[in-house]
Structure 1
């Protein structure tokens, strides 16, 4: 995950689809997909059902896992492949990179969301689109890019909550469907030839002498463990002991506890991502307090806390036994890409990749509400659990 600016005032960016821009946008999307992200092939299944539901005028919310920066480009291309238009909910930070980029996103039907606060504009926009349009709406329920395609991170309940609210407003036979979408990236064997030099660049980045003669898997674990030790020393003054997963969890909790000790904690925030979002919201609220602006010293402390919270999320995003459990080509490639993003700012894509995308069986939310299989109020948790089960099954 990239460290994007989140200490700026937020301005909601609504979707502004422009018919004249769409061909240009789709062309640019394919260019980025192939040239920047090296996704040269898309294998898909299950999207015929999505097309049928959309053509019948129903509301369709596509909920993919989010493990790669190319995911939105993959989904845009697939939806267009089946003759549909799409809307996307995207993190506010991607709109803040450039004005031209923001214009392009809005023109392709993308709208912003502030992930760290109650963004009512984004929620209302999503509900309205589902209520009044049959174009698929794409929302990533994990919320962050985690770079482990074969495992899900805990899903946020926001996706289910939005669809349930939209379903309650639908009339004239229109129904709401939630479609889990599993995305996996398969790497061409040629990528293996790049591993040695890429690891050397990463070792050099942290001041280590590259060890190209060391066995590959041992080298990856050594580098990851070394980076963890550096972060532990930076934030706690000592390196941890024990299993990697335990050390990652301990570092994440320690950093969040420091921030929570200063800014308070929402009792409902249980998981690490929930605690991170809560802290980012509180810290940014104080940073942007116009009535009582923070002093220069306090501002520096607040920005330090944002860095701590970001590092906590980084620690959470590494699954300690993910690579250790299976040293497959894809997991090697994913792990190196993740290390590159954290050390160099963005991963490399030196060899072709295939995106395998499966649209699962649509979940008939409207019918489940009528049959009282989901409660009209409080059903988000149950629907999220069902989505997580279905989505996880698509990644196997």
Structure 2
């Protein structure tokens, strides 16, 4: 997720009418996009009655899905089509700065921007407003960013609970109505044979690295070998030498080296936060703020180095998507191999191969009524805990539907 330096951030509101999203649904444009761009060709909606029930009750609905693929926001259009509703959704500012067509399409589907490099009060206020008016469900991904680890939920950001509670308080004052959070588990399954797909993709990567082709070996061993090879290359690229020791320790050392280096270059004299994602956010915010404080000539000269600093921070965050024990013996599935190879491809090529045909399961949990009361200081947020427990439970169960290999 490259920082946007082409123009300063400005809030982009969603299209509020129904004609465009109805047109997109009627002509199955999301089906075309998901098939062509993401390889998602089938879907199955489960416990859709939980969604229908809260829609029929006219409550304010906050959908809180896990976020493992770029396809996730579009995938939610499938259950929305069945229950005959449109959606609003928070979307990162950088998505509105890819092509003019994508920006146009995102707005027409109900997306609005949020500045992940700063405190975007306008986006938060609009999210609360859309929830209170209860004309459409609002989609907010509580993990914040995509992670490509479909079977593991990342820590949830507290912004989603803040939005929900503020909306609950306003809705109560307005008409006595309720706000509910509806966790949604998204689980992707491979439809094709992972052996042949992985053999081809691993061969391309091995060739790209100039490795000797020694014939077909097991895809698990080859995948792990490539993970270690990519890590060694990145260690050399950033630190000048490859390290020794267990892969998780080397990953963490490189991650913190990159963050410390980026913070030092931006004159952030001490770690800006303890959480990796928060450190990355603050580094990116510092890069953007510094860039737009420069004169036009300074912008041109400093742009490449500032982009490099942001890329350092982004790669540190990308390393979080190589979790411990994800390829542990006895737990390795075709989808975990797929995700790992695609993460390697994104690290080397900047994008992943999407030729594996996928099916997505969209499962709704029962609604969680949102209280407008904040939790006591120092205590875990009960709303976030309820969302986390619900999502984790569904994902643990759904992970068993992938095919075991090895």
TM-score (norm 1): 0.91
2:230 counterpart of 1:247:
no
Q: Quote the offset at 1:36 in angstroms.
A: 2.9
Q: Quote the offset at 1:90 in angstroms.
A: 0.6
Distance 1:130 1:18 in 2: 16
Tell me which of 195, 199, 221 is aligned to 2:198.
195
Equivalent residue number for residue 138 of structure 1: 139
Deviates more, 1:180-189 or 1:16-25: 16-25
Equivalent residue number for residue 348 of structure 1: 353
Q: Quote the offset at 1:297 in angstroms.
A: 5.6
Contact 1:251 1:312 in 2 (8 A): yes
Cα 1:315/1:111, change in 2 over 3 Å:
same
Distance 1:114 1:164 in 2: 21
Q: CA RMSD in A?
A: 2.3
SS of residue paired to 2:326: helix
Contact 1:17 1:108 in 2 (8 A): no
Distance 1:293 1:253 in 2: 33
Contact 1:182 1:358 in 2 (8 A): yes
Q: Quote the offset at 1:382 in angstroms.
A: 3.7
Equivalent residue number for residue 34 of structure 2: 33
Q: Quote the offset at 1:376 in angstroms.
A: 8.8
> Could you report, residue by residue, the CA deviation over 1:324-371 in whole angstroms, capped at 9, with x for unpaired residues?
3522112111211222222223222334322112111211113xx4xx
Equivalent residue number for residue 207 of structure 2: 204
Q: Quote the offset at 1:7 in angstroms.
A: 2.7
SS of residue paired to 2:89: strand
Distance 1:303 1:109 in 2: 30
SS of residue paired to 1:322: coil
Cα 1:232/1:123, change in 2 over 3 Å:
same
Contact 1:43 1:356 in 2 (8 A): yes
Equivalent residue number for residue 287 of structure 1: 291
Q: Which runs of 5+ in 1 are unaligned?
A: none
2:233 counterpart of 1:230:
yes
Deviates more, 1:258-267 or 1:208-217: 258-267
Contact 2:280 2:313 in 1 (8 A): yes
> Could you report, residue by residue, the CA deviation over 1:267-326 in whole angstroms, capped at 9, with x for unpaired residues?
772211111001110111001115798476654432321121111111122114212352
Q: Which runs of 5+ in 2 are unaligned?
A: 397-406
Q: Quote the offset at 1:103 in angstroms.
A: 1.3
TM-score (norm 2): 0.89
2:274 counterpart of 1:270:
yes
2:339 counterpart of 1:334:
yes
Aligned residues: 389
Deviates more, 1:300-309 or 1:78-87: 300-309
Contact 1:248 1:320 in 2 (8 A): no
> Could you report, residue by residue, the CA deviation over 1:76-97 in whole angstroms, capped at 9, with x for unpaired residues?
1211211111111111111101
Distance 2:10 2:258 in 1: 29
Equivalent residue number for residue 4 of structure 1: 2
